[in-house]
Structure 1
């Protein structure tokens, strides 16, 4: 029972580490399951610091997963986006700022890093794991890990999109987008979209989705309205939900079992990026009817 209690005490942090390293709900779940199996067979008094030990085990499992995942993604159809985490949207009083480290846009940037860079950046910059402990995970020296994290940090700063950290502003902007979509309001869409907005769709070749990013306010607005015209208003649901730590949208068709998840990047009251995940393989963890 003590082993289980120790593991459960650290489960939420372990899952957070695993998800940020892999960008996959399924892989994060698998990593925790494997870590639990190893933890059960650990000799007594082997881990003086259960949290640090389990973090290292989960991180090493995820680091190993990244190699095969990168190979699979080289043949992926269309843009690859992380598996979204969806929850009921909290009120603006629940959190003042947004958690950038779990945002879809940042996780997509992390895909451009090497597995070692990504692991070092997540563990050090997000979870404050010392370089010496990270070195054991990635099989490098602490000095090398420091360099990995520094390179990753520079790239993230250069490539991560500009964004608001104000939840109220983000939510108001997403609500304005939703109202314009439901009203088929082209002018309303143009007003809420940044002139250089980017729309990415991840259908994985399983469902209809743009296989290249849609760029620019006019093209994105017309693309969105085109999607809206193909939906059945009697069965579809467009819901404001928490998507990877920020207000986003879920499209659900309970009758047809279809679901798509939309994450937004907002800057100065306008949407600069939309990441739409429609690949059903990446949404298996969602309960469509409950949503």
Structure 2
């Protein structure tokens, strides 16, 4: 088979599975760019494989992608130890009605070991049995069960307790944008929970708070200052959207760069605000 023919043959079986494989890779890594690199490497390996011997291509490729992600996580952990300011996963605009892994859950996954993360995602999110997980991460099924159980304990608090309906969530996001940009602190304060927090990721590339901002008074004070800046420099709404499973919005800021804001809503109130300003993590949105 010629090179072009081999590429077409491999792509014919790989491409229909790409969206599902991308979901696994992104949820393992929290990075769109790293997930794309993993998928590219998985495709190269798929092209070199004797595909006539593979009975279940999806299981084979999911196994390949997961193992590549486990390797990637080792170097990613070292990089995050020197990351400037809070680290947030790259924002992904979700078009589906419900998302299985929200941004707070992805942050909780960051605290797990790579194997715990893989076992939890493959079992609790993607619904795989422990026999297949064992073959994927090269541990016995009992060990995989323990890994998933430990992970579940760690991330339980990150599961949304009061899931807001998408339409209502986007209405709150739109109202939040309007109040925060116009400087209407009365309207903004009426949306905030008492223990609201702001988490902003500038990656050392754009100004952002170096630590989370905690509590109603501090968050409102920060937004008073931001509103004055928005009036001078401008902040344009690009669209409201579900961002990593949370309602939010994409804006173009006064410096010409994009920014995403995702809102964690509990009992109808904004409990946490996640702002992505790092341009390296926003490239794919362009």
TM-score above 0.5, yes or no: yes
Equivalent-residue separation in structure 2 for 1:84 and 1:180 (angstroms): 23
Equivalent-residue separation in structure 2 for 1:19 and 1:283 (angstroms): 15
Show the counterpart of 1:245.
Answer: 245
Instruction: Check whether the contact 1:164–1:170 (CA below 8 A) recurs between aligned residues.
Output: no
Equivalent-residue separation in structure 1 for 2:189 and 2:154 (angstroms): 31
Show the counterpart of 1:69.
Answer: 76
Show the counterpart of 1:49.
Answer: 56
Q: Does 1:15 align with 2:22?
A: yes
SS of the equivalent of 2:230 reads coil
Equivalent-residue separation in structure 2 for 1:221 and 1:46 (angstroms): 61
Show the counterpart of 2:273.
Answer: 274
Q: Give the C-alpha shift of residue 231 in structure 1.
A: 2.9
Q: Does 1:205 align with 2:192?
A: no
Equivalent-residue separation in structure 2 for 1:182 and 1:236 (angstroms): 7
Q: What's the TM-score once normalised by structure 1's chain length?
A: 0.89
Equivalent-residue separation in structure 2 for 1:117 and 1:260 (angstroms): 31
Q: Give the C-alpha shift of residue 233 in structure 1.
A: 5.9
Q: 1:53 to 1:167 in 2, by over 3 A?
A: same
Show the counterpart of 1:180.
Answer: 179
Show the counterpart of 1:81.
Answer: 88
Equivalent-residue separation in structure 1 for 2:261 and 2:78 (angstroms): 26
Instruction: Check whether the contact 1:80–1:204 (CA below 8 A) recurs between aligned residues.
Output: yes
Show the counterpart of 2:122.
Answer: 123
- For 1:181-233, what per-residue CA distance to the aligned partner results, in whole angstroms no more than 9, with x for missing partners? 13211111110011101110111111111011011112112212312322366
Instruction: Pick one of 30, 39, 42 that aligns with 2:46.
Output: 39
Instruction: Pick one of 17, 24, 37 that aligns with 2:31.
Output: 24
Q: Give the C-alpha shift of residue 168 in structure 1.
A: 2.7
Superposed CA RMSD in Å reads 1.9
Q: What's the TM-score once normalised by structure 2's chain length?
A: 0.91
Q: Does 1:263 align with 2:262?
A: yes
Q: 1:130 to 1:48 in 2, by over 3 A?
A: same
More helix by share: 2
Instruction: Check whether the contact 1:85–1:244 (CA below 8 A) recurs between aligned residues.
Output: yes
Unaligned runs of 5+ residues in structure 1 are none
More displaced, 229-238 or 107-116?
229-238
Name the count of aligned residue pairs.
278
Equivalent-residue separation in structure 2 for 1:69 and 1:162 (angstroms): 30
Instruction: Check whether the contact 1:163–1:265 (CA below 8 A) recurs between aligned residues.
Output: no
Q: 1:145 to 1:74 in 2, by over 3 A?
A: same
